Amino acid sequence: MPPELLILAPSPSAAVNAQLEQRYACHHAWQVPADERHAWLAERAPAIRAVVTTGALGLNAADMGLLPKLEIVAVNGVGLDGVALDVARARGIAVTTTPNVLTDDVADMALALLLASARHVVALDRFVRDGGWERREAIAPASTLRGKTAGIFGFGQIGQAIAPRLAAFGIHVRYFQPRAIAGTDVPRAESLLALAQESDYLIICAPGTPATRKIIDRTVLDALGPQGTLINIARGALIDEDALIAALQDGHLGAAGLDVFTDEPRVPKALRALPNVVLTPHVGSLTVETRHAMGQLVVDNLAAHFAGLPLLTPVTLSKSPIERFNQA
């Protein structure tokens, strides 16, 4: 019998899904109604040796506890906040992610949100469609990007990929995270608050951890200011969403471009109603090429594991990327 595999979400790549079906006995939890999933999983859990999940879904401690033979969690993404890493470490369960292959597309999405927010692209599209241009209504001018300052909170692979893209637009770049990055000429701010105070645009690239939950609070938003723009392509939990809505409503923050939210796919009605916000449905890596590459890396990690070979992109559980980020 091939190894039994629990799939929490399918890959957008048909070729990747076909490979998994050919090599493993696949159990597709995403096809089961939510109210039936617990009983469905309990029946299959004793034989499950591997789980394929996403960064957003993860695998929590309770579900991991239902899988006595679990050997590997293959995350199709780079987020680890939903994975019970302490349980995986204690049980010797391997964890893999799909780094590098999604970096450029997520960095591109950050720039797309920044450009759309700063140049009012969505509002102007609506202005044309609704006939405002034809009626010769006044158009509020946007601000140029050149000469502005962008702060990047979280300067890992994605943050470092965003920096040269910003520089190409003539934007000055700074970053902050607790652990300084060696070998970069991008200046590091003294704190997140200082970064917000120094920035016209604040781009969130940090991992979701208990330490970063709601770290973008009203104090940080007020420091960014009424002319400032907040961009988030990391995790919704990093932002105090109520404080964000209030700051946008009362003019203490100028605009926001958001690809991630606190309770996806549910986005607050108040946020959806704001005209100074650009919203996308967590699609930073959603291109044909990148999603195939991510899925293929999942397949290759699983193949290496079951062949007894070194994993291609393992998470070092003795010190995870989250812990390294938080290390001062």
Query: Which residues are marked as active site?
Result: 235, 264, 282
* Residue keyed to tokens 């979400």: 9
Q: End-to-end alpha-carbon separation of the chain, Å? A: 48
Tokens standing for 284?
């930073």
Q: Name the token pair of 123.
A: 């509002």
Q: At what angle do helices 288-306 and 14-23 cross, to 10 degrees?
A: 20
- Could you tell me the CA-to-CA distances from 189 to 25, 180, 208, 235, 247 in Å, in that order? 50, 10, 20, 21, 23
Helix (H, G, I), strand (E, B) or coil at 45: helix
Torsion, Cα 256 262 266 272, to 10 degrees, reads -20
Element housing 278 (H / E) = strand 277-279
Question: Which amino acid is present at 196?
Answer: A
The H or E element containing residue 220 is helix 218-224
What region does 154 belong to: left with phi over 0, alpha with psi -120 to 50, or beta?
A: left
Strands (E), 157-258: 172-176, 201-204, 229-232, 255-258
